[in-house]
Structures are given as structure tokens and as C-alpha cells.
Amino acid sequence: MEKKFDRIKAKQLQERVVTPQQAASWIQDGMTLGLSGFTRAGDVKAVPLALVKRAANESFKVNVFTGASLGSDIDRLFAEAGIVNKRLPFQAEPTMRKKINEGDMLFVDHHLSHTAEWIRTGVTETIDFAIVEALSITEDGMIIPTTSVGNSAVFAKHAKNIIVEINTAQPELFEGIHDIYDTGKQGDRLPIPLTAVDQRIGTQGIPVDMEKIRGIVFTEQLDSPSTIVPPDEETKIMADHLLEFLRSEVRAGRLTKKLAPLQSGIGSVANAVLHGMIDSEFEDLEVYSEVLQDAVFDLMDAGKVSFASCCSITLSEPKMQQVYGEFENYRNKIVMRPQEISNHPEIIRRLGLIAINTALEFDMYGNVNSTHVSGTKMMNGIGGSGDFARNSRLAIFVTKSIAKGGNISSVVPFVSHVDHTEHDVDVVVTEQGYADLRGLAPRERVEVILANCVHPTYRAQLREYYDEALTRGGQTPHVLEKAFSWHTDLAKNGTMLQKKEQLV
């Protein structure tokens, strides 16, 4: 027996080892799959690939439920093969995005903490196969996840069958950092006992009914590295504005230098903003987030972050090498939970997080669009931003004030899609400055956003819209027939700029 079989400590399961092709052959047209994987981390790799290969000679479609986006080119290959009927709750892959926006596949854009409730109550299709990446299987049949937990536990519990991919390339030192907690059914549920970021409340692996493990596959392949780009001049300035806001909260006595547990959304901007804390006076920070990106480890290295809770770790290639190589230094500072717990309203509100997420655009009243380009085309999905923004102590959204060389303003009269309502957004930050919207009526919000966040190129234009809106009156004045004119001008003229002013 090869050494890798030692990873299957429940000996009776060793005979269930199959090839990825065998496992993929069990999947039939119309089935629903629950795949491990959250923002390119801990996704199953071999069985999905074998399934894609089957599609060369066979016509079938499956529903694909995941934690969040998949790496390893799987979402791209799935999309190209045309084998996905419905995908939920999040994706971030260009080819799949195109298929979704062309109406070739269905995408349900779902709060990441909510999917587990649907699975548990059977609102969505029953999961035929949970396919879960693992470091190992324990003697009593617990699946030890790898670099993400995502929805793996709830998939495994409620699926008819389970396929495990044991990935021998994933760092074995990750064993022990997972904390799997099952909330149980609504109406028959105790309080989630978590009251501190570093608290463990569950088991180190996913307890499963061993009878359901139909097959085990071996793989040896690292996660796809993250695609974030390093901080640039503007993201550094945004980080400075955010720090300035946090300082004002300390001065007002609402925060201390320890701040409050930090959540930061996926992507370059949020990563850069978090990175900006390295040289700040803030210290002994805690992170309670979905994904740990490079910045959190940089902050740990700098002695700024003392503990981080997550449901996934997604790193750039160099950072992955460093962190995996020295994981002994990090493993007692990290716990990895199911996304239902990392994103749970109960915990987010109890701990009073500071939530920093990226906006695609926001409007003069503080409504935020996180998902739809010009109101129609899906970018990635809402992800956990709704879970966090609604329930946090501070819901902060960051975006550069302009895009495409100034042809797009990220601050508009009326967002073309609303993911976070005016009731849910506390602070907006651009490279121009920050606007603290808390406690303000809509007409007050316009003034602080105009004064602090809008790019100078668009300031007069937004003021002009607002002045006309004021002639119509209302709690939230608008000129409805022009509310989306910036977006329609962009489609028609390639720019939101309505006058021949100098582009930046």
C-alpha cells in the first residue's frame, strides 16, 4: 500500500479509493453537486476535471453549488464545456461570467451565510454528490478539510453521496486549524456559543456518515494562487482615509487602538486597505473574516494581528510559499470555520465587526452596487458583503472614485443595482476622502458624499443632478427620468461625462 493511503485512517475506507474518472462516471445528467472550494482555496480538482473530460463525448448538465468561487480553472472549464445548469452562490471567472450574462447558464447570487439554510431545509435541489477536498480522513470518519471550509460540512451532511479528494500537496500542518460547528435546524437551535474571535466551538473535521463515502480520489496539486495586484498609489491613499476615519472613532471614544475584529472582502482594493494598517498605530488587531488574503499574514508578520478567524485562505504565489513553509508560526493564530459561521449575522453583530468591502459603485444617498456592471451584467456576486455590512458595527465600502480613465464615475445619482441599501451603509471611502453617513438623513448624505468622495471631474455634474432633484422634493429627491442617464450615456458615448470637460 502506498504511503498516501495512510491519509485514510479509517482503514475500512481504503478500499473505496477510485480514479477520478470512475468517480466522475457516477455523476448523471440533472444531478446536483456540492463542491468544496472558497475563493480558489480548497476546491476539489480531479473529479471536476474528469467530469469536464466526459463532456467531450457526452451531453449532460449538472447544478453546481460551492462555497464561493473555484480555482484550478474549474469554473472556466465547466463554463466552456457547457455542463452547468445552475451555479450558486458565487463565482468570479471571466468565461463563466460571460455565459451567465449571455443567459446560457443560471446563476443564483446568494448571501454566503444563507446557502447552508437552503441546503439544510431542502429549499434547493438535493445534493446528489458532495465532493470535498481533504487532508485526510480520521479513524472515526471525519473529513479534515484543506485550505477552505466553505459549505463543505453542510454539503457532506445533507448529500446522498460523498466523494473525497485527498490532496497530498496541501500542507499537512493545516490539520487542527479547522473548527466545524453545525447550527442545527432553525427553530430547534441553541445560541452559537462563539463570543471571541479565537474561540473554538466545534470539531477539527467534518463528521460524516461513513456509509455515504462512495469514493476516495488522490490528488497532488496546490490551489490556484490569488490574482490580487499589489497596492497602488490610490489604494494607499484610500487606506489612509480609512485610517483617518478609524482614528476619529478612537478620538470619539467609540474604538480603542485595538479597534474591533476586522473583516475585509476579497480583492485587491480591500487587501490594499488592510495592508495600509501595517504602519499605523493600531495594534493587537483581530480578524474575523471570510478569506485571509496576503495582507493578513503581512499584518501578522508585522506583529499587528494577533488572531484571525476565516473560512478560507487565498494567497498569491510568493505568499503561499512563505506561509506554507513557515506555517508552524501561524497555526496557533488561525482558526478556519464553515462560511455559515464566519458570515453569521449572530456572530457579526455580537462581536461588532468593522467590515470593509469593495463597491462597484455607490450613489449620492449611500446605496451600494456590489455586483452588476451598468445594472445588468453580473461581475462576481454579492458574496459575504451583505452578511457583514448589515450586521457589523461599521459597514465600510471602498472604491476608487473613477474608472476607465475617468469615463466612469463610481459615485452616481442612482446605483444601477442595489445590493446594500441606504439603511445598511455606514461609511464610503474613495481616494478623494471618506463620508461618514451614520445618523444622517438622505439630503445630509448627499452633501458629505459630494464634499468628500466624488471625483472633481464629476462634482459639478452630480451637484447639477441633485439641484434639479431638489426641485422635485421628497425624502430622497430624484429626477427619475435622468436617474440612470449617467449609465445610458456611458453605453452611448463611452463616457458618463456630460460636458466637454477635460478627462483626467
Which positions from 180 through 199 interact with its own copies, judged by CB under 8 A?
A: 185-187, 189-193, 195
Helix (H) or strand (E) holding 162: strand 161-167
Residue with Cβ nearer its own copies (45 or 393): 393
**Residue tagged 422634493 (cell numbers):** 473
Examine residue 443 and tell whether it contacts its own copies (CB under 8 A): yes
Examine residue 476 and tell whether it contacts its own copies (CB under 8 A): yes
- Cα separation of 377 and 81, whole Å? 21
Examine residue 488 and tell whether it contacts its own copies (CB under 8 A): yes
Q: Which of 19, 421, 452, 495 binds its own copies (CB under 8 A)?
A: 421
Closest CB 16 distance from its own copies, rounded Å: 31
Helix (H) or strand (E) holding 434: strand 433-436
Identify which range of 8-16, 225-233, 292-300, 471-479 contacts its own copies by CB under 8 A: 471-479
Residue with Cβ nearer its own copies (234 or 346): 346
454 closest CA partner among 396, 394, 408, 395 = 408
Examine residue 75 and tell whether it contacts its own copies (CB under 8 A): no
User: What residues from 100 to 119 belong to the interface with its own copies (CB under 8 A)?
Assistant: 100-103, 106-111, 114, 117-118
Active site (catalytic) residues: 290
Q: Are strands 427-430 and 433-436 parallel, antiparallel or unpaired?
A: antiparallel
Examine residue 374 and tell whether it contacts its own copies (CB under 8 A): yes
Supply 298's cell numbers: 503581512
Examine residue 440 and tell whether it contacts its own copies (CB under 8 A): yes
Identify which range of 75-83, 149-157, 329-337, 374-382 contacts its own copies by CB under 8 A: 374-382
Known binding-site residue numbers for CoA: 265-269, 380, 384, 404
Q: Are 175 and 332 in contact (CB under 8 A)?
A: no
Q: Which of 73, 234, 483, 498 binds its own copies (CB under 8 A)?
A: 483
Q: Which of 350, 447, 452, 459 binds its own copies (CB under 8 A)?
A: 350
- Cα separation of 398 and 384, whole Å? 15
Q: How far apart are the first and last CA of the chain?
A: 66
Q: Which of 30, 318, 456, 474 binds its own copies (CB under 8 A)?
A: 474
Examine residue 121 and tell whether it contacts its own copies (CB under 8 A): yes
Q: Are 410 and 402 in contact (CB under 8 A)?
A: yes
Supply 7's cell numbers: 491519509
Q: What is the x/- site pattern for its own copies, positions 155-184, by CB under 8 A? A: ------------------------------
Helix 294-301 and helix 268-275, axial crossing angle in degrees, nearest 10: 10
Residue with Cβ nearer its own copies (215 or 383): 383
Supply 173's cell numbers: 500542518
Examine residue 468 and tell whether it contacts its own copies (CB under 8 A): no
Q: Are strands 161-167 and 143-144 parallel, antiparallel or unpaired?
A: unpaired
Residue with Cβ nearer its own copies (307 or 484): 484
Q: What is the x/- site pattern for its own copies, positions 242-271, by CB under 8 A? A: ----------xxx-----xx----------
- Cα separation of 480 and 325, whole Å? 57
**Residue tagged 438623513 (cell numbers):** 441
Examine residue 473 and tell whether it contacts its own copies (CB under 8 A): yes
Known binding-site residue numbers: 265-269, 380, 384, 404
| DSSP structural state of residue 208 | -
DSSP string of 226-272, one letter each residue:
P-PPPP-HHHHHHHHHHHHHHHHHHHTTS--TT---EEE-SSHHHHH
Q: Which of 55, 81, 278, 418 binds its own copies (CB under 8 A)?
A: 418
Neighbouring C-alpha atoms within 13 Å toward the C-beta of 212: 20
User: What residues from 199 to 228 belong to the interface with its own copies (CB under 8 A)?
Assistant: none
